[in-house]
Every structure is written in structure tokens, then in C-alpha cells.
Structure 1
């Protein structure tokens, strides 16, 4: 058994010895592949180093450009700050000038207003004259001339701004209308609405003229208009004169007529007896 084992071992050695050349060849092949891989790795490393160098140079160039742009931006910001300071100084100077101009204008305006007040204080209404005719019931026109208006002042404006206050006359305030009559002067016109006895027309002696027509439920009342002055517009005087009769007040007649005995106001009042 030992001899057989020894023979088997010897046979293994013989086989192993016969495999040595193939193993040596395989090892040589592996060494060649390792060398190729090492050379390829070295070449890749060299290429990567070259690429890294290019990237580093590009980065440095970009950083230098960035620094240059930063410096330009800082210079621009400094220039803008200087210009802003200049603008602020100009703005402050302009505001100071505007305040001075405003103060001067206000002072000039006050001076002109004071001068105008002194001029206006001299304006005076003269020759207040009532119209020859009445305008309507209890209303009469008045005219007056404005005196002491300097040539430098607009006479119509002076007329429109000047208030009249005359004791005993029922008019007050600015004119309703101003009329420039050239060399004769400027005249203001007012209307007195009360206290004009000459224009105080009235109705009296109301006459019942019967029903206007059967079934109309309307009754005709007639009265003559009193205190009508010669030259007055009878229609306007009649149509604006109020009346009170049969415990009723009427602001004006329904119609007005004129006849040989004067001007008559006519009312048609409600009456169920008609």
C-alpha cells in the first residue's frame, strides 16, 4: 500500500511537472495583460492630469475675468454713488430754490392781494336808481354806477366783486348783472324782491261768475288787479300776484284778461255744486 501510494504520488509529480510549462505560459500571459493594463492606466492618468491642468487653467482664467468684472463693478458702483451724491445735492439745492421761489410768490401774492384790497376798498356805488317799470309782483329793478375804479382794473370784474349795502333799500350783495357802458362807466343791476310798494299789485272784490259749465264741478272767480302802474307788463304783473279768498291761498291766477275796466285775474276753483 505504501508502494502504491508512493507510485501515485510520483505519478502526480510527473503530471504536475508536465503542467509547469503551461502554467508558466499562462503566468506570462497574465503578466503581459497586467503590464498592458498598467500602461493603459498610466496613460489614462496622464491624460486626466492634462485635462485637469486645462480645467485648472480655464478656472484660473475665469477667476481672473471674474476679478476684473468685480473690480469694474466696484468702480461703477463708486461712480454711481458719487453721481447719486451729486443728484442729492442738486435736489436739495432745487428744493431750497423752490422754497425760496414759493416764499417769494407767496409774498408777491400777499402784496398784490393787499394792493387789490386797498383798491377794492375805494370802490363805491353811486346814483342808485330804480327802474321805471316793475318786473313782476313786488319786484323792481335797480341800477347803480360803480365809482373809483382805476384804469388798471377790469371794470366788469370790479362790478362783479363789489357788494352793495344801502340802508333803507331792500337790495344787498353783488350785482345780478354788470354792464360796461364805456365812457359812462360800469353799472350794476339788482332786483328788489320786497318793500316795493309801487309794485305791490293785489286783487280785491272777488266776483263769483258761476259754474264754468254744467257738471264741470268748477266755479269761475274773477277779480280786478289793483295798483298796476302805467307801462308795466300787465300779463307778468297779473300772473305773479297771489290772492287769498274763500279760505284758500293761490300763488297766481289761472288766467289773466284785460278789458276796458282794467286787468282781471281768473280762477277756476273746485265746487261740487257745479
Structure 2
């Protein structure tokens, strides 16, 4: 019986040693698995980081282009907008002006659409832009229906259009 007990004790020690080896191996595997996961996350995040960097680069380029356009456009301005003699309708008159100092290489129609003029106490962009070519330039048109209370031509009065100019 002592032999059996001694053999069991030896087997119990061997099993304990094997369990300890298994625990150590499992700990090593867990450590390797964690490293692999970290490396995979890093590899997977690279395209995302590259996309972020590319997006940031494009944003910087757009800001640079916008700043360049603003710099070019800075010289553009309208001559004093002039009102038409007649009204379009009661309380509404058309104003026109020529755009000047458009920098070379800058889109003239874009400058027209983006450059504001001071008309009857307000900064406004043109209602319409017409490009007359290199000699006539760009002409802007504004349809103004504010502060035009005196705009009641005889044509409208003859047609029976009366209104309070104030």
C-alpha cells in the first residue's frame, strides 16, 4: 500500500507540475495574443490615420486656395452703382455698375457674384452679372426694392398704380 501511496504522491506532483507548465504556457500565449491584437489594431488604424492625414492635407490646400482667391479678389470693386431713370415697378428700381480691378487670371464672373456693392445703405451682391468681354468688362445689376419710396413714375400713375411712397 505504501508503494501505491508513494506512486500516487509522485503522480500528484507530476500533475501539479504539468498544471503549472500549462498555466505558464497559457500566460505566455495570452501575452502573445495581446501583442498580436495590439499589432492588428495598429495595422487596421493605419489606413484610418492615413485618411485623416489626407483629409487634413486637402483642408489645408483648400484653405490655401481660398486665401489665394481672397487675396486676388481683394482688388475687385464696383464703380458707384447708378440707378435707372425709370422704375421697374412701384418702389423698385434697377441699379447697374461696372466691376473694376479684377486681378488677371481670376474668374471675372465669380468676382462679380462674390463682390458686394453699397446700394441704398446695404452691402449686396448683384442680382445679375453680364460679361461684356475684355473691353466692356463685367456689368452688375441690382434690383433694389428698399428705400425707393419716391419710385412712382408717371407710367405707373397713368396705369392707376398708386401707393403710399412712405
Q: What TM-score does the superposition give when structure 2 sets the normalisation length?
A: 0.62
Partner residue, 2:139 = 187
Question: Could you say which residue in structure 2 is the equivalent of 1:145?
Answer: 98
Structure 1 distance, partners of 2:160, 2:68, is: 49
Return the match for 2:81 from 102, 112, 128.
128
Deviation at 1:122, TM superposition (A): 2.0
- What is the total number of aligned residue pairs between the two structures? 129
Distance 1:241 1:148 in 2: 42
Q: Which residue of 1 aligns with 2:49?
A: 96
CA contact (8 A) 1:137 1:238 kept: no
Structure 1: stretches of 5+ with no match in the other structure: 1-81, 202-227, 229-233, 244-274
- Summarize deviations over 1:49-89 as a string: whole Å, max 9, x none: xxxxxxxxxxxxxxxxxxxxxxxxxxxxxxxxx7x877644
Higher RCO (CA-CA < 8 Å; seq separation 6+)? 2
Please report the RMSD computed on the Cα atoms of aligned residues, expressed in angstroms.
3.0
Structure 2: give runs of 5+ residues left out of the alignment: 1-35
Q: Which residue of 2 aligns with 1:175?
A: 126
Say if 1:239 and 1:153 are closer, same or farther in 2 by CA, change over 3 A. farther
Structure with the bigger percentage of strand: 1
Q: Are the counterparts in 2 of residues 126 and 146 from structure 1 also a CA contact under 8 Å?
A: yes
Q: Using the TM superposition, give the Cα deviation of residue 124 of structure 1 relative to its aligned residue in structure 2, in angstroms.
A: 0.4
